[in-house]
Chain A
Amino acid sequence: MIRDPQDLRRYTASQRVNHWIVGMCFILLAFSGLAFFHPAFFPLAMLFGGGVWARILHPLIGVAMAVFFTLLALRFWRLNMMTATDLEWLKRAREMMDGDDHNMPIQGKYNGGQKALFWAVLVCVLVLFVSGLAIWREYFSALLPIGLVRFASLLHAVFASLMIALITVHVYAAIWVKGTIRAMWYGTVTRAWAKQHHAAWYREMTGRKS
């Protein structure tokens, strides 16, 4: 594919690498975690070399995820601050999902939905990390009251399910909105893409008025 020099840069290489480390961690965590959650998913443990390996690796990958997600969040939290326009966008998200984005409020680098997802995922990672430490039998569980470990187990399962649902939406949105995924693969998007989906960011990047 020939890349157009007119394309706009959306992510730096370092941001992309950071995102994909988090992404890989998430996939590994989801597969190994689901194995412990429901017997229907237990065969997924075989991808890790069996149940014992899945049990050993899951919390270690979890720590890596927490570290790299923190880096990612530090890079992007400012860009995800909600504004009145974002709330307006969220209110009208149904129109967008119906396939008509003509009347959607003008969006900056991220739209209301992306920002809401960012904060929701951040809360999930935080809860999963803390509750995950509590149910890490190897190092921490024995030091905590059993009631807390039980609560953490429930919390971990609920927020993990929520996070898997959120990331499914995240991935689907990237597939649905054509021309999006390349931003995370090699960093650029076309000008037309930017103008259609993030008009305010388009202006900011090109210095154009409309």
Chain B
Amino acid sequence: MALQSLDIKARSATTTPSPQIRKAVEVAKLIDTSICIGCKACQVACMQWNDLRDEIGSNHGVLDNPMDLSAASWTVMRFAEHENEEGNLEWLIRKDGCMHCTDPGCLKACPSPGAIVQYTNGIVDFHEENCIGCGYCITGCPFNIPRISAKDHKAYKCTLCSDRVAVGQAPACAKACPTGAITFGAKEDMLDSAQVRVDGLKERGFQNAGLYDPQGVGGTHVMYVLRHADRPELYHGLPQDPHISPMVSLWKGVAKPLATAAMGAVAVGSLFHYVMKGPNEVSKETEREVEKEGEQ
């Protein structure tokens, strides 16, 4: 293996176990939305480190820019206006991007062996050289993250700067954040740090403050501290209880072995029918009858 820090735990379209003799520390990025100022330094750092230059878009009259994730914009700041119970305006800003699920829907749906991998450190990464461009990762993702490039028809998304993490560096976005809203470290440490921040928010009167680490996808390796953890959908549609859709679970779960077995059974059953019952031939009797008719 090239880098111990990038040992692979799970691999798309692979039915045998990945090497698992050694374990790594799980990492996580913690995004405290309560101290994010929406400066977009993270967006800039992301495009600089990853050498991405998206097409220049147009101004839509809002601060969101670009308006959505794309193959060349792996993170975007989402700005949502929320009027709270006291009638005050709250500007809820969330850095959107891949959540690096413990149970990744993209990896489950991907049909191409090794196009999507999950490292032992928890990062879910796309290996575009193996990507066939089918878009099943989009179908599988509960957070609407992957995007297919119009240029090369490959799927792209945030790598959590796996190349930086591999050599002990924090992701570019975390490095650039001027307020400390983005921090990076061992998932365990990030959970502790989140608890401190949530407690602080509660002390300041945000009773519903909490951590967003949705268990429906086994927890994530990008987590949010939210003032309104009871209503994550306020943050530009962050899903309340994300999980892999039952359709996707069926399709890429039980349907696979079941349908394969059924198709095999029909083929093998046909073969054995022939072996056991023999061919269905025209009887001598019918042949004689027809011959007689011909003579008439």
Chain B binds chain A: yes
> Is the CB–CB distance between B270 and A137 below 8 Å?
no
> Is the CB–CB distance between A172 and B248 below 8 Å?
no
A45 neighbours in B (Cβ, 8 Å):
132
Binary contact track A98-123/B, C-beta < 8 Å → 1, others 0: 11010000000000000000000000
- Kindly identify which residue among A37, A38, A52, A150 contacts B245, using a CB–CB cutoff of 8 Å: A150
A143 neighbours in B (Cβ, 8 Å):
none
How many inter-chain contacts with C-beta < 8 Å in the A-B complex? 134
A6-B279 contact in complex given A38-B256, A42-B113, C-beta closer than 8 Å: no
B280 neighbours in A (Cβ, 8 Å):
99, 101, 176-178
> Is the CB–CB distance between A150 and B283 below 8 Å?
no
- Kindly identify which residue among B133, B138, B257, B290 contacts A191, using a CB–CB cutoff of 8 Å: B290
B112 neighbours in A (Cβ, 8 Å):
42, 51
B282 lies within 8 A of chain A by Cβ: yes
B3 lies within 8 A of chain A by Cβ: no
Q: Which of B31-39, B42-50, B72-80, B261-269 contacts A (4 or more CB under 8 A)?
A: B261-269
Binary contact track A34-59/B, C-beta < 8 Å → 1, others 0: 01111110100100001110110000
> Is the CB–CB distance between B132 and A151 below 8 Å?
no
Question: Which of B112, B135, B260, B280 has the most C-beta atoms of chain A within 10 angstroms of its own C-beta?
Answer: B280
B111 lies within 8 A of chain A by Cβ: yes
A125 neighbours in B (Cβ, 8 Å):
none
B231 lies within 8 A of chain A by Cβ: no
Q: Which of A9-17, A67-75, A156-164 contacts B (4 or more CB under 8 A)?
A: A156-164
Q: Which of B204-245 contact A (CB under 8 A)?
A: 245
Binary contact track B144-164/A, C-beta < 8 Å → 1, others 0: 100010000100000000000
A195 lies within 8 A of chain B by Cβ: yes
Once the chains are docked, how many angstroms separate the CA of A176 from the CA of B15? 36
A21 neighbours in B (Cβ, 8 Å):
none
> Is the CB–CB distance between B282 and A192 below 8 Å?
yes
Once the chains are docked, how many angstroms separate the CA of A172 from the CA of B256? 24
B55 lies within 8 A of chain A by Cβ: no
- How close is B247's CB to chain A, nearest CB, in angstroms? 4
A18 lies within 8 A of chain B by Cβ: no
Once the chains are docked, how many angstroms separate the CA of A149 from the CA of B146? 15
- Kindly identify which residue among A35, A153, A161, A175 contacts B139, using a CB–CB cutoff of 8 Å: A153
Say whether chain B's binding surface is mostly helix, strand, loop, or mixed: helix
A157-B135 contact in complex given A37-B111, A97-B273, C-beta closer than 8 Å: no
CB closest residue in chain A, given B13: A39
A40 neighbours in B (Cβ, 8 Å):
15, 260
Binary contact track A158-194/B, C-beta < 8 Å → 1, others 0: 1001001100110010011111000000000011110
- How close is B130's CB to chain A, nearest CB, in angstroms? 8
A141 lies within 8 A of chain B by Cβ: yes
A83 lies within 8 A of chain B by Cβ: no
CB closest residue in chain A, given B289: A195
CB closest residue in chain B, given A54: B132
A78 neighbours in B (Cβ, 8 Å):
none
A154 lies within 8 A of chain B by Cβ: yes
B22 lies within 8 A of chain A by Cβ: no
Once the chains are docked, how many angstroms separate the CA of A50 from the CA of B247? 27
> Is the CB–CB distance between B113 and A153 below 8 Å?
no
> Is the CB–CB distance between A55 and B282 below 8 Å?
no
A35-B274 contact in complex given A137-B148, A147-B245, A153-B251, C-beta closer than 8 Å: no
Once the chains are docked, how many angstroms separate the CA of A161 from the CA of B258? 10
Residues of A within 8 A of B (CB): 6, 35-40, 42, 45, 50-52, 54-55, 97-99, 101, 135, 137-138, 141, 146-147, 149-151, 153-154, 157-158, 161, 164-165, 168-169, 172, 175-179, 190-193, 195-196, 206, 208
Supply 10 further A-B pairs (C-beta < 8 A) apart from A50-B132, A55-B133, A208-B293.
A37-B260, A42-B112, A51-B130, A150-B251, A157-B251, A157-B259, A158-B255, A165-B263, A178-B280, A191-B294
* Contact sample, A vs B, 11 pairs, CB 8 Å cutoff: A38-B257, A39-B13, A39-B15, A50-B132, A99-B280, A150-B247, A153-B247, A168-B266, A168-B270, A179-B282, A192-B287
| 6 residue pairs, one from A and one from B, having the closest CB atoms | A137-B135, A51-B132, A161-B259, A172-B270, A150-B247, A39-B13
